[in-house]
Amino acid sequence: MFSKSAHIYDEIYTSLGKDYQVEAEKVHSLIQQHKSSKGNLLLDVACGTGLHIDHLRKHYQVEGLDLDPGMLDIAHSKFPEITFHHADMVDFKLSHQFDATTCLFSSIGYVKTKEKLQQALQNMQNYLIQGGVLIIEPWFTPEQWHPGSPHATFVDKPDLKIARMNVSEVDGRLSSFTFHYLVAASEGIKYFTERHELGLFTHEEYLQALQLAGLVVHHDPEGLYGRGLYIGIKS
């Protein structure tokens, strides 16, 4: 996934104005609103480089989980005192349960299929304590995805220049794009690409999958920045 760009991932999303602190505080507020379990253990699934965890750890005893070893290496180097697990959200196995689990920044889309969406949500539910809360930030729905749209992101710092471009594609219910990177630093200019594929699921499919996993579901249509949030409660 982001293994080639892990070292510049934070630079790119900071340049886009993504405010991890504000997002983490909204997630915390939702967890507190819906959680009835008594503990404060939190698992951040698809934690990436750990920028949400950095703020969530003010409120919870946190752990992270991600499939991308490059992202985990960076997360661990920044937060060596936190436990990180290298595993797939579809079938991870851990030794204990949590009061809250989050899967943010649309990472759920990487499961690609409805079957694996169901498996991932069921697996996350299995590791929730009774009264615990699961928060899912969805990827785009099929109606929201526009193939053929060009996109560009730029980082312009004195010692670092990054251009990342892509054109959105679609194949049935699978969205895809290839990021093309140009990265200029003191040692020179590098070019590389990364391919990403994410499943396009409808609102009804998210609701059904969460309900089939045994969760009571609430939907926040706005979410953190427009993609909505699904809140599942293990009652």
- How many C-beta atoms lie closer than 10 Å to residue 205's C-beta? 18
Residue environment code for 7-25, b if the CB has 16+ CB neighbours within 10 A, otherwise e: ebbbebbebeeeebeebbe
Pick the CATH number of 6-141+201-233 from 3.40.50.150, 3.40.50.2300, 3.30.70.100, 2.40.50.100: 3.40.50.150
**What pLDDT is attached to residue 162?**
98
**What pLDDT is attached to residue 111?**
98
For residue range 139-184, what is the model confidence (pLDDT) as tens digits?
999 999 999 999 999 999 999 999 999 999 999 999 999 999 999 9
- Strand 41-45 to 98-103 pairing: parallel
Rounded Cα–Cα distance for residues 120 and 192 (Å): 31
Is the distance from CB of 111 to CB of 46 less than 8 angstroms?
no
Domain coordinates of the chain in residue numbers?
6-141+201-233, 150-199
**What pLDDT is attached to residue 135?**
98
Rounded Cα–Cα distance for residues 191 and 39 (Å): 46
Rounded Cα–Cα distance for residues 76 and 50 (Å): 8
* CA 154 centroid distance within chain: 21
For residue range 11-33, what is the model confidence (pLDDT) as tens digits?
999 999 999 999 999 999 999 99
SS3 35: coil
For residue range 32-77, what is the model confidence (pLDDT) as tens digits?
999 999 999 999 999 999 999 999 999 999 999 999 999 999 999 9
**What pLDDT is attached to residue 3?**
85
Residue % of the chain over a pLDDT of 70: 100
**What pLDDT is attached to residue 206?**
98
Topology adopted by domain 150-199 = S-adenosyl-L-methionine-dependent methyltransferases (2.20.130)
